[in-house]
Structure 1
Amino acid sequence: MGVVRQLRQISADDAGVDIAFRADVHAGLSQRQKAIPARWFYDATGSALFEDITALPEYYPTRSETDLLTRHAAEMAAAIGPHRAVVELGSGSSTKTPLLLEAIDPAAYVPVDISGDFLRDSAQALADRFPALAIYPVEADFTQRVDLPREICPLPKLGFFPGSTIGNMVARTAIDLLRNWRAALGDGSLMLIGVDRIKDIALLERAYDDPAGVTAAFNLNLLERINRELGGTIPVENFSHRAIWNDVHARIEMHLVAACAMDFTVDGRSYTMAKGETIHSENSHKYGPRDANLLLRAGGWTPIATWDDADPGFALILAEATEFRSAP
């Protein structure tokens, strides 16, 4: 069947700018600790840079997850069962997706991604590889409510959330997202989710601050995007990339650091930054086994199987939708 059609669920203004992007940038730059949500990394340029990051020798998560999908495909297929509609959250280029699709014989595939250009290209590549599979791309922010294609509503569903993207969110946001997708995927659904484990700090910091500077370019592209889409005058050359381990919150933090005091505008609004001040652009939380299971249970999912990569420490967890119960 191939690509059936692409659904777009993003609200844009008259200039074609995502309304939520504009709102998040202004809100984030107005805070005492400036911060912009990590999902706005992923315009076409940012998505391409992230794919480059996944191929770096320092960036272990993609290799670890791919290895898990390859080595345990038969076990996963037995636990998941055939003929489910696979709904992938934040699909990107879908490089790991064929390993799952080949193993489980799905009824349909729904990639959900915020970057429309990347979504179209990856959906077409998968359609070429799986010509009999019905593919319904949805251009949407998966952290918000997403209406699934009506054609898959009667089908049992598998949510696929790879790459440890859940780690980009603080606990309360992650739980809200898991609950939203529990409701969207419905009773009888499953979720296969990637989580990164706590490990050696030096290994973690190298993974998010590679010597080639690809991660730095990915981080700085957020400022370039603001300038491109929101008429910003941010002097990008006056910022540098920083990745640090925050032991209290068990996460890597990425920041954009001002090298000097500066003034700039975005959308005609004025902002000021002092030397050394930062824009907090990403979190990447790491989880112990109990932490990850607790997070899933709080989000409405009961873990039923775990595949772990002991070195350098990454896991794929299969969870089933917890039955909704009325309050006594």
Structure 2
Amino acid sequence: MQQLHPSIHSKDLPSFTDPLHLRKDHDSDPPSDSEEYSSSASDSGFSSSSPPTLQLSDHGDASTLSESSRDPIPRNMTVLDIRSKSVESMADSAHLARVVAQTLSTRETVFPASSARFDAEQNGKRAFNNYNNNTAGVSTPIQDVLVRSIPTLVLYDDNGLDIFNDITHVDEYYITNAEMQIFKDKSDEIAQAHVGNNGVLIELGVGSMRKTRYLLDAIVSQNKSVTYYALDLSAQSLTQSLQPLALQFPSIKFVGLLGTYDDSLLYIKDHLARDNGSTRTLLWLGTSIGNTTRKEAAEFLERVKRLAMQDGDVLLCGIDRRNDASVVKTAYDDPKGVTRAFILNGLRHVERIFGGETGELFPLSKFEYVSLYNADLGRHEAYYRSLEKQRVEVDVDSLPHVFEFEEGELIFIEYSIKYDAEDIKRLMDQSGLRWAKEWLDQTERYSLHCFAK
């Protein structure tokens, strides 16, 4: 998926984003019970700070072993580097710097009047046109305004992935537990009906190893043989996530795909041979679909259908529902501040993208995390708010860029879009996929859908 962000329309940029497939929430220690969560950004850049050792695999690509891991790669596991070598690839930090410079230089993302109303209701803040509380002593009424943006992808450096893993252990973040409960209760049914023997399982994003284990266990218990492909943009994440699974399930072949959504779709289309009678089961879990607009989600699903699926193949897609506003708001603005640390880490990553030092370009004391749930539009919205008038200067490709932020100015960073039944029906109509099945968690807040070609 390579459209960075709804605000990017330049023909010179990739046409679809890659943000949330980077999320992982495998087993790890949850955050402490302290009132405020704190996590200092690591010094790693867009890739791992400890680059993995690359060994030639029998596929002719790169098989990956983390330097931090002393265990050898299991025989049933391979990691392939399928990243595009294009200079416009979002896996390229220099290109990412150009994109961030462009999105920070222009106000192209709509901040709706309804969002301003919810900001006032939920956060006690009122967004004003031109971001000023008054002009000549007169308040400007709430209305739609255009704001700058930063690609959502910057949230998912290695440190961001670690913090997001902590988010999935926060009680208020109901999504992970809901999806885990569905897989725990329904994996036997899913494996029986939707995973063929000698078939292929493809996860678009490493996802939760906790919930993936349930499905793999069901597959093995049914004596089925499958090859499991897992996508991520971090070699470190792929190795750390797949290695324990490969050891636990030696009868399953594990293949890590190091690249973007678009890279994976092209790899599936060009390199994944289909045996007679074999099926493909694709997984797009967590809140991944929610981090694109509804139009972008439909376009991406159409591309998955066209490039990676044949008649009879299915896509299992996790979708968060339009829940009570207070429940959603708290899930993305938890009392311990874990999500706040995750969002603010994105500014640390932007600094490194621009070659700055910690706190040099975007001091966190001068920005705050703005979380709001827009019930009218059915989406959670995340922004940075500049707490004072400030000026930031950076060089990209030896060209100077100056960003001048007003006090109170918003910078968009991420949507988390929710769906009701009508939204899903429109999604199917626009993507050309067929809705086949739905599984709800016990609270009926979250659902897993089976879309078929």
TM-score (norm 2): 0.66
1:237 aligns with 365
1:312, CA displacement in angstroms?
5.0
1:202, CA displacement in angstroms?
0.5
Is 1:277 the equivalent of 2:409?
Answer: yes
1:164, CA displacement in angstroms?
2.4
The equivalent position to 1:78 in structure 2, one of 192, 196, 216, is 192
* Residues 270-323 of structure 1: per-residue CA shift (max 9 Å, x gap): 2111111121111011111231233134213211110012525100001111xx
Mapping 1:139-150, distance limit 5 Å: 139-142=258-261, 145-148=265-268, 150=271
Which structure 2 segments of 5+ residues have no match? 1-74, 108-146
Matched position secondary structure for 1:136: strand
Alignment-mate amino acid for residue 250 of structure 1: G
Is the Cα contact below 8 Å between 2:195 and 2:281 reproduced in 1?
A: no
Is 1:246 the equivalent of 2:374?
Answer: yes
1:183 aligns with 306
The equivalent position to 1:27 in structure 2, one of 98, 102, 108, is 102
Is 1:99 the equivalent of 2:214?
Answer: yes
* In 1, Cα distance between equivalents of 2:207 and 2:152: 14
* Residues 14-57 of structure 1: per-residue CA shift (max 9 Å, x gap): xx843552243122212211112323311111111111000000
* In 2, Cα distance between equivalents of 1:30 and 1:128: 48
Matched position secondary structure for 1:276: coil
1:2 aligns with 76
Q: From the superposition, tell whether residues 143 and 260 of structure 1 become closer, same or farther in structure 2 (CA, over 3 Å).
A: farther
* In 2, Cα distance between equivalents of 1:55 and 1:61: 10
1:91, CA displacement in angstroms?
1.5
Q: Return 16-25 or 197-206, whichever deviates more.
A: 16-25
Is 1:315 the equivalent of 2:447?
Answer: yes
Is 1:202 the equivalent of 2:326?
Answer: yes
* Residues 222-266 of structure 1: per-residue CA shift (max 9 Å, x gap): 111111132142223311111101133210001111111111134
* Residues 87-129 of structure 1: per-residue CA shift (max 9 Å, x gap): 1112145332111222234511111112232122112222122
2:205 aligns with 90
Cα root mean square deviation, aligned:
2.1
2:424 aligns with 292
Which is greater in Rg? 2
Q: From the superposition, tell whether residues 92 and 46 of structure 1 become closer, same or farther in structure 2 (CA, over 3 Å).
A: farther
Matched position secondary structure for 2:184: helix
* In 1, Cα distance between equivalents of 2:393 and 2:234: 25
The equivalent position to 1:174 in structure 2, one of 297, 302, 305, is 297
Matched position secondary structure for 2:267: coil
* In 2, Cα distance between equivalents of 1:94 and 1:106: 19
1:264 aligns with 392
Q: Return 137-146 or 49-58, whichever deviates more.
A: 137-146
The percentage of counterpart residues that share the same residue type is 28
Q: Return 24-33 or 173-182, whichever deviates more.
A: 24-33
* In 2, Cα distance between equivalents of 1:231 and 1:242: 26
1:220, CA displacement in angstroms?
0.7
Is the Cα contact below 8 Å between 1:85 and 1:152 reproduced in 2?
A: no
* In 2, Cα distance between equivalents of 1:56 and 1:288: 25
* In 2, Cα distance between equivalents of 1:265 and 1:86: 46
Matched position secondary structure for 1:87: strand
1:185, CA displacement in angstroms?
1.7
Is 1:49 the equivalent of 2:124?
Answer: no
Is the Cα contact below 8 Å between 1:12 and 1:19 reproduced in 2?
A: no
Mapping 1:191-230, distance limit 5 Å: 191-230=315-354
Q: From the superposition, tell whether residues 292 and 20 of structure 1 become closer, same or farther in structure 2 (CA, over 3 Å).
A: farther
Alignment-mate amino acid for residue 432 of structure 2: G
Q: From the superposition, tell whether residues 63 and 119 of structure 1 become closer, same or farther in structure 2 (CA, over 3 Å).
A: same
1:74, CA displacement in angstroms?
2.1
TM-score (norm 1): 0.90
Alignment-mate amino acid for residue 244 of structure 1: L
Q: From the superposition, tell whether residues 78 and 238 of structure 1 become closer, same or farther in structure 2 (CA, over 3 Å).
A: same
Matched position secondary structure for 1:82: coil
Matched position secondary structure for 1:91: coil
Is the Cα contact below 8 Å between 1:140 and 1:146 reproduced in 2?
A: no
* Residues 147-186 of structure 1: per-residue CA shift (max 9 Å, x gap): 1383554442111011021011111211111111112222
Is the Cα contact below 8 Å between 1:235 and 1:264 reproduced in 2?
A: no
Q: Return 247-256 or 304-313, whichever deviates more.
A: 304-313
Is the Cα contact below 8 Å between 2:79 and 2:258 reproduced in 1?
A: no
Q: Return 246-255 or 266-275, whichever deviates more.
A: 266-275
Q: From the superposition, tell whether residues 24 and 97 of structure 1 become closer, same or farther in structure 2 (CA, over 3 Å).
A: farther
Is the Cα contact below 8 Å between 1:41 and 1:222 reproduced in 2?
A: yes
Is the Cα contact below 8 Å between 1:175 and 1:296 reproduced in 2?
A: yes
Aligned length: 319
Alignment-mate amino acid for residue 255 of structure 1: Y
